[in-house]
Amino acid sequence: MSEEETNPPSFTFKPHPSTHPFSVPSTTYLLTNPTLPYTHIATSALVFSSPSPTQPPGSRILLLQRAATDTLPHLWEPPGGACDPTDLSILHSAARELWEETGLVATEVGPVVGGVVGFVSASGKRIGRVGFLVGIGAGRERGEMKVKLNPREHQKFVWATREEVERGRCGDVVLEFTKDEVRNLVLEAFDVGGRESESG
């Protein structure tokens, strides 16, 4: 892996006002909310095929298929993952995970999609996952997003419409999600993006 691939860019995205509670490191967020039923924070970056997170009608959302050698093999999810203690904020965690998994660089983070949803990981960790619509700048080629997967984590990607997510099939690809909650998050992203587009 080249130095360019291993060293992340400086994430200088524009945060949406709804993301303010998540503009702190995950450790700070957890310490200042001691009654939360989880001990770790994870993020999902919900990326649409349009230049901004407020997608026009018919837009497609980016979904990744987990690698055969990873946990939950062959299942589908949006880009994302656990917050690191070194991330400047939960928002930066989302931008970092997106870049690590797809090579795409966030220029806008937010609005928040669906709030924080708790779940228990395979290792028994209590995790709160928060999703953000994410707009993309760098990572485009001839106006199109150039997705570069990390093969250790994901083996395939698709751009799926809402109807394809609901049907569970994108072309000849079966979309079986890691959790029902993840599928619901993806569907809610279409609703949030639509509302933002109307208000914007």
- For residue 89, being part of any structural domain is answered with yes
2 within a domain of the structure (yes/no): no
Q: Is 100 helix (H, G, I), strand (E, B) or coil?
A: helix
* Residue 190 covered by a domain: yes
CATH code at 171? 3.90.79.10
Q: What is the pLDDT of residue 146?
A: 87
pLDDT recorded at residue 127 = 94
Nearest to 191 by CA among 165, 168, 173: 165
- The domain in which residue 194 lies consists of 11-199
Token pair 């999902």: residue: 44
Report pLDDT for 92. 97
Per-residue model confidence as pLDDT tens for the chain (200 residues): 344 456 777 788 999 999 999 999 999 999 999 999 999 999 999 999 865 555 555 589 999 999 999 888 999 999 999 999 999 999 999 999 999 999 999 999 999 998 899 888 878 899 999 999 999 875 555 456 789 999 999 999 999 999 999 999 999 999 999 999 999 999 999 999 766 555 55
Structure confidence at residue 3 (pLDDT) = 41
* Domain-embedded: residue 1: no
Which helix (H) or strand (E) is 55 found in, with range?
none
In a domain, 133, yes or no: yes
Residue 3 domain-assigned (yes or no): no
Asked if residues 136 and 47 have their Cβ atoms less than 8 Å apart, the reply is yes
Q: Is the residue at 186 inside a domain?
A: yes
Give the number of domains in the chain: 1
Residue 140 is predicted with a pLDDT of: 53
